[in-house]
Amino acid sequence: MNTKHHHVVLYSGGLASWGAAQRCVKQFGVNNVTLLFSDTSIEDEDLYRFMDETVKQMGARLVVLKDGRTPWQVFKDVRFLGNSRLDPCSKILKREPTRKWIEESFQPEDVTVHLGMDWSEDHRVERARPYWEPYQIDAPLLWKPMVGKPQLATDLRALGIEQPRLYQMGFQHNNCGGFCIKAGQANFQLLLQTMPERYAQHEQSEKEL
C-alpha cells in the first residue's frame, strides 16, 4: 500500500482513540496514518457525527469495516451468549476483521498498529501484544506527556468539537451505543435510566436468545 512505514490507528469513535490518532498525525504526518473503524451495527448515532467531524479535522484516511451483523446476531450464530469473560461479538465484529485487513494490507515490518488506550489501561496494551505478533503495536497516549480523557475533552472543545454524547450521559465509553456484553450492573442501570427504549431492545434480544 505504501512504501513508507505506515501507522494504523484502531479508531473506535471514542475520546482515547481520537487522542491517539491526533498524536499519530502530528508525529508521522497525515499521509502516513490510516484510521480503521469496525462498526458493530449498534453504535450510537452520535458516534458517526463525532467520527465525521474528527476525521475532517485531522484530514486522515478512514477505513470502515462492517460485517453487517449485530452482537446479538453473532450470539445467535455461534450459539453462545457473550459475558464478562468471553465476547464473541468483539472477536468476530472487531478483532478478526481488523487483523484480516491489516494482514492483507501490510507486511509486519511496514506498519505499526496504534491502540487508543491511556495510562489507566496500560495493562491492556501488554495483553494485546501477543495477539498482534508479529505486528508491532503502540499506544500514543502513553507517550509523554501522558494525558487522559478529561484533558482530551478539553482539547476537543478548543477545536469546537463536542465530545460524544454518551460521555455526557455518564458512560465510560462510546462503543455499541452504551451497551456492552462485558459491562457491569452500573453500566446497565445507566442505560436503563438514560435510554430505556434501547435497554428494552437489548432485554428482548436476550430473552429471544
Q: Give the residues across from 199 on adjacent strands.
A: none
User: What is the pLDDT at residue 1?
Assistant: 41
User: What is the pLDDT at residue 119?
Assistant: 80
Low-confidence ranges of the chain (pLDDT < 70): 1-3
- DSSP letters, 134-175, are TSEEE-GGGSSSP--HHHHHHHHHHTT-PPPHHHHTT-S--S
Q: What is the pLDDT of residues 74-85, one digit of tens each?
A: 999 999 999 999
Specify the pTM. Answer: 0.94
Distance CA 159, CA 66 (A): 29
Q: What is the pLDDT of residues 131-143, one digit of tens each?
A: 999 999 999 999 9
